[in-house]
Amino acid sequence: MHSIYNWIKVFHVLFMVAWMASLLYLPRLFVYHADKTKDKITSDTFKVMEHRLYYYIGTPSAVAVWITGLYLAYKLGIYGWLIIKFLAVIILTVYHILLMKYLKSFRDDLNSKNSSFFRKINEIPFLLLLIILIMVVIKPEI
């Protein structure tokens, strides 16, 4: 492959790491925020942290992952493992959008979910990342 392909792959992995960090950390912030909604000062601090993580790190990284990933897939061609990876990334994207819903509910002081709920959904990106890594590293013949 051309050297540009390898550079795009480097940036794809970099943006993926940043996006995954946001997908793993934001629900953890929600866990703590859900327990502190009555404390306005602490709640306001969480709101700022959550907003910045989602809009300044998570969303730009997700967009960059999609752009670089589509380029890489175009150059690589279609394989069964790549389709499974693609489906996992679509689910991650839906999860990312779902987190925006919860972010807005905290922002508007309308959150109805407890910390246990956010602890549970915090496992979703980890499991999807496992599927993605298996597809990319092992490349099973599907």
What is the number of other CB atoms lying within 10 angstroms of the CB of residue 48?
9
Give the span between the Cα atoms of 66 and 89, in whole angstroms.
9
What is the C-alpha separation between 27 and 108, in angstroms, rounded?
17
Q: pLDDT 10s digit of each residue in the chain, 142 long?
A: 569 999 999 999 999 999 999 999 999 999 999 998 788 999 999 999 999 999 999 999 999 999 999 999 999 999 999 999 999 999 999 999 999 999 999 999 999 999 999 999 999 999 999 999 999 999 999 8
